[in-house]
Amino acid sequence: MTATLTILEPHPGVYAYYDGRVAGVRLHSQAPNWLDDGAYELGVASYAIVDGREALVYDTHISLDHARAIRAHLESLGVTSIRVVLSHWHKDHVAGNAVFADCEIIALKLTAEKLHENREKIEAATPPIHPLVMPNRLFESSLALAIGTRRVELRHFAIHSADGNVLWLPDDRLLLAGDTLEDTATYISEADQTATHIAELKRLRQWPIAKILPSHGKRERIAKGGYGPELIDANRTYIERLVDALSNGAPVGTLKDFAGAEIASGAIVYFEPYEAVHRSNVERVRAALDAR
C-alpha cells in the first residue's frame, strides 16, 4: 500500500508524507473508490512537525499502512511523544486515526460533530475506515500548542468544509493548509457556502504567510518548500470567477482555460485529473445557484 509513498522534508523538522499522482497505479482496486479516485489520483500529503522527542502529526493519511509508515518514521527519529491534529472530517484525512488511538487526537468541535454524524457512512465506505477513531481533545476556534520549542497555532477557517482547521507556525511564517487550499483548483464540497469561502480566503490572505503546504498539490513544489501566498489568490479567484460565470450564464470551459492566467503566472500548476474536480465544481455551484 505504501510502495509509492515519499517522505519529504520541505522545511527543517517539517516532514511531508506524500503519495499519489502516479500514472497507472491504483492502491485499493480498479473499481471506483474514494481512495484511488480522489486522494491518490490527485496526490495527497500528511505532515509532521518534529522537535526533539515530540511530534505533531497533521492528518493521519489515506490508510492504516500510511499511518503506520508515518509513525515508524517518527519513531526512527527518536520521537516518543506524538499528538495528532485533524484538518477536517473528510475520509482521506482521518483514515489512519486508529494507528494513533493511544495519542491525543485534536480537532475542532465541528469536526467531531461531522465525524459523529457521518460515522456509519465512513465506516462502511469503499474502502472502509473501521473502526473510525474519534478525536479526544476538542476546541472551538483556535488553540496554541508547543511542540518542543516550536510554537504552533490551530485556527478555524470555513473554506472547502465548514470545519477547516489550518496549522500555523508563526516563527516560520509557514501555513499547513489542509484542504483549505489546493493545486490545481479547490474542490467545492459545500457549494451553497461559496460566499463564506471567498470571505474566509480574503481573511487568510491578511496573514504574513511566506510558504504554504497544502494536502493536495504537486510533489516537487512541496519538496522545495511549498507554495507562495499567491495560491490563496488563485483559489479565491477561481471560486469568484466560477460563481460569476454561472450566475450570468457565461461559458466556463475547461479548467486549463478557465484558470489559464493563474497557471501561466505559476501560482498553480496544471494537473489534468483536476478537470474532473472542475466539472464537479461546475455542477455543484450551478445546482446551488438554481436552488436559491
Coil, strand or helix: which one is 184?
coil
Coil, strand or helix: which one is 157?
coil
pLDDT for the residue numbered 149: 97
State pLDDT tens for residues 170-224.
999 999 999 999 999 999 999 999 999 999 999 999 999 999 999 999 999 999 9
Q: How many helices (H) and strands (E) does the chain have?
A: 12, 12
Cα separation values, 78 from 30, 65, 74, 261, Å: 38, 20, 7, 45
DSSP tag of 86: -
pLDDT for the residue numbered 278: 98
State pLDDT tens for residues 37-78.
999 999 999 999 999 999 999 999 999 999 999 999 999 999
Give me the sheet containing 142-147, strands edge to edge: 142-147, 150-156, 165-169, 174-178, 211-214
Cell 470551459 belongs to which residue? 253
State pLDDT tens for residues 12-45.
999 999 999 999 999 999 999 999 999 999 999 9
Mean pLDDT value of segment 93-121: 98
pLDDT for the residue numbered 10: 98
Cα separation values, 10 from 40, 109, 193, 254, 271, Å: 20, 30, 32, 32, 21
Cα 39 to Cα 113: distance, rounded to the nearest angstrom: 23
Q: Model's pTM, two decimal places?
A: 0.97
Which residues, 6 or more positions from 78, have their beta carbon under 8 angstroms from its beta carbon?
52, 53
Instruction: Please report how the helices 194-204 and 230-247 are oriented relative to each other, as an axis angle in degrees rounded to 10.
Output: 160
State pLDDT tens for residues 235-287.
999 999 999 999 999 999 999 999 999 999 999 999 999 999 999 999 999 99
Q: How far apart are the first and last CA of the chain?
A: 44
Domains and CATH numbers, the chain: 6-290 (3.60.15.10)
Q: Where are the beta strands (DSSP E) in the chain?
A: 6-11, 14-19, 44-51, 54-58, 81-85, 104-108, 137-139, 142-147, 150-156, 165-169, 174-178, 211-214
Cα 124 to Cα 230: distance, rounded to the nearest angstrom: 38
The amino acid at 139: F
For residue 56, the cross-strand partners are: 49, 83
Confidence of residue 292 (pLDDT cuts 50, 70, 90): confident
Rg of the chain's alpha carbons, rounded to an integer? 18
